[in-house]
A and B are shown apart, each in its own frame.
Chain A
Amino acid sequence: MHELGIVFHIIDSLTEVGKENSLSKISSVTLEIGEVSAVLSDYLTECWKWAVDRTELLKGAELIVEKIPAVTYCEDCERTYSTVEYGRTCPYCGGGNTYLIQGNETNIKEIEACET
């Protein structure tokens, strides 16, 4: 359900982009979704099909999801590791002074579109 809300936000943003660039049709949309962004791409795709068919601009548009792996940086030993595997504790030095450097993204990267 959360994903449906996100789809509506994407449609709103792209409607704006469509107006600014005088687009008549968008045929595909590429998103960048981080591994730990709390957006599930399978659900997103389901909601997408349902929602875009109710718009003129995006009818039938393909959704492409590029997944970005989650990587955490450890300030103590200055190394990076996989967030999903090890969480907030550094697997090299056991330190807890860590922060996420990527994997949180929810971006619209690009679209393929036709001008009027």
Chain B
Amino acid sequence: MDKFRVIEVKQSIFENNDKQAEELRKELKEQGVYLLNLMSSPGSGKTTTLSRTIEALRDEMKIGVMEADIDSDVDARTIEQLGAKAIQLHTGGMCHLDADMTRQGIENFGVDGLDLVILENVGNLVCPAEFDTGASKNAMVLSVPEGHDKPLKYPLMFSVCDVVLVNKMDVLPYFDFDMEKCKEYVHMRNPKATVIPICAKTGEGMEQWFDWLRREVAQWNA
């Protein structure tokens, strides 16, 4: 008869993922590829922000974009039209990317010769925050209509982000959005986070964002 015994495991559920993410980050560092994990809610203007970013930086660095979506290839086609290398990753119903899925994406994509790879994560403020993708840094787009209290509602997302872009500044007069409160709430979750108000449509604040990215990519390859 089979004999069962109790074995102590004492391991975080995320331990495997964290290990895989650390390995991927190290490999990308050696290859000189800066991977930015871009997160947001659906409809915050992530793809538009990305498009303007590619247009501004494509002559200075080689950019690739990995679009993660549950289905469809709408976003990847938009990006390819701008001349950046793009791939669509389907998560097959999953609400986030983990380190292993990111690695598979990167291997299929081929990042040789690229300076900056932007991973557009699934539009969702909960799950992507839990799984380290192996990215060099995490960024998120928060748009004015979503409200300045989002950092209170999604604390984990804001605590893992290095930079928060507050998009759609052009509609600020029509919403009860308090920028100072927003910054205060973000810094409650993460004192080191950089907050940049932008408008991808009008170009407001975009130079500051491009400079942030330029500095990051240069430091990664230093």
Q: Which residues of A contact B (CB under 8 A)?
A: 1-2, 4-6, 9-10, 12-14, 16-17, 21, 23-25, 27, 31, 38-39, 106-115
Contact = CB atoms under 8 A, between A and B. Distances in A.
B127 A2 contact: yes
A93 to B, nearest CB: 18
B13 A13 contact: yes
Interface of B: 2-17, 93-96, 98, 126-127, 130-131, 156
Given A5-B94, A5-B95, A9-B17, A17 B9 contact: yes
17 contacts: A2-B96, A2-B126, A5-B98, A13-B11, A17-B7, A25-B2, A27-B4, A31-B13, A106-B13, A107-B12, A108-B9, A108-B10, A108-B12, A110-B7, A111-B6, A111-B9, A112-B5
A115 B16 CA distance: 23
A46 to B, nearest CB: 15
Contacts of B3: 114-115
B16 A113 contact: no
A6 B7 contact: no
A12 B131 CA distance: 15
B126 A9 contact: no
A114 B2 contact: yes
B127 A1 contact: yes
Nearest to B154: A38
Nearest to A16: B16
- Looking at B13, B93, B127, B130, which has the most chain A CB atoms within 10 Å of its CB? B13
Given A13-B16, A16-B16, A114 B126 contact: no
Contacts of A14: 9
B78 to A, nearest CB: 25
Contacts of B4: 25, 27, 112-114
Contact of A112 (B6, B15, B17, B130): B6
Contact of A107 (B10, B17, B94, B98): B10
Contacts of B95: 1-2, 5
